[in-house]
Amino acid sequence: MNKRRILKYFLFYIFTIISAIVAVILYLKYYPIKSKVITETINKTMVSEEGIEEAISGVYDAVVTVQSYSNGQLIGTGSGFIYKKEDKGYIITNNHVIEKANNYKVLLQTGEEVDAKLLGCDEYSDLAVLSIDKDKVTKVAKLGDSDLITVGNTVFTVGSPMGSNYSGSVTRGIVSAKERTIETDDVVTKVIQTDAAINPGNSGGPLVNLAGEVIGITSMKLAQEEIEGMGFAIPINDAKIYVQNLEKGENISRPALGVSLINITDRYRLYYYRINVDSTITKGVVVAKLQNGGAADKAGLEIGDVITKIDDKEVESISKLRYYLYKYNIGDKVKITYIRNGKTNTVDIKLEGN
């Protein structure tokens, strides 16, 4: 009797295990999205050294050192990465890495130096696209989705800090902030902040996640000498908007008001242009010149007007005005708020191309 009872319990135990296995298989088959979430959660909590090594290997050979020459003289180096291979190999880097040059070479991870051609560049976004012979391409970096990153994610950079002698250097950190805005040289840029070390020569290189995907383009231009432990990268989703035009050699067209402006805090330039502004006005940008027949001219703006808002967004500087303005398309209408002779006015302006 005891033997029968033991056999009964044993068969029940086996049946329970088989049922559980079948249930798991069916769950994974018919609820793949939830199982993916579980897998991603596990991955986030298990950052292994093997996983980091695999992520690095997925992009490492696609990273290059960009060498910029002017009249045969090397004038600067930076980093870049191959993001596409078709009729040629396509490389993304920063505009400030190549802007003063007329000849370009890239150093591959194999140590081979090859000629590169500039296809297109854009100062405002600080992006440039180079090309090389497709037969020289051994690895293409996979572009990720920068909108999916979260604060605390592990990231790393690959680049050439301090020049080609340190090419292929890897630094590791985390995403310190997802959406920062940095203001430099009358330009406001949305960036990813990281504590991964970014040094001169890293500019143009990739910021990479644990899946080995590029989620940002590092930029030393956005850093300040007195700040340590803060690196910045252009989100790859923002770069994708411009790269398609740049690789075709097309200029990036942006909306314009057709004005030259002066920050209201720049009293010296206001004096130089002989423009008097009420001292009680502390925020805004002052119209210094009007393009004849331009959008602002057609709308009736005048020299000396102080622009304080674009639609409902307050304008504190030229860079902020550009930042808001470039979110619109050519042909859109915007409401401009301005002060003239102590009186606040508004006018609708149809944006034209720059």
Residues with a known catalytic role? 96, 126, 203
Query: Can you tell me the distance from the alpha carbon of 225 to that of 203, in angstroms, rounded to the nearest whole number?
Result: 15
| φ and ψ at residue 347, rounded to 5 degrees | -150, 140
| φ and ψ at residue 52, rounded to 5 degrees | -65, -45
Query: Can you tell me the distance from the alpha carbon of 170 to that of 155, in angstroms, rounded to the nearest whole number?
Result: 10
Nearest 5°: the CA angle 65, 96, 160 is 25
**How many CB atoms within 10 Å of residue 353?**
13
Question: Which residues, at least 6 apart from 69, have a Cβ–Cβ distance to it below 8 Å?
Answer: 75, 101, 102, 103, 104, 105
Pairing of strands 142-143, 213-218: parallel
Structure tokens at 116: 């590169």
Residue written as token pair 């027949």 = 293
DSSP assignments along 73-135, one per residue: EEEEEEEEEEEEESSSEEEEE-HHHHTT-SEEEEE-TTS-EEEEEEEEEETTTTEEEEEE-GG
Strand, coil or helix: what is 263?
A: strand
The amino acid sitting at 34 is K
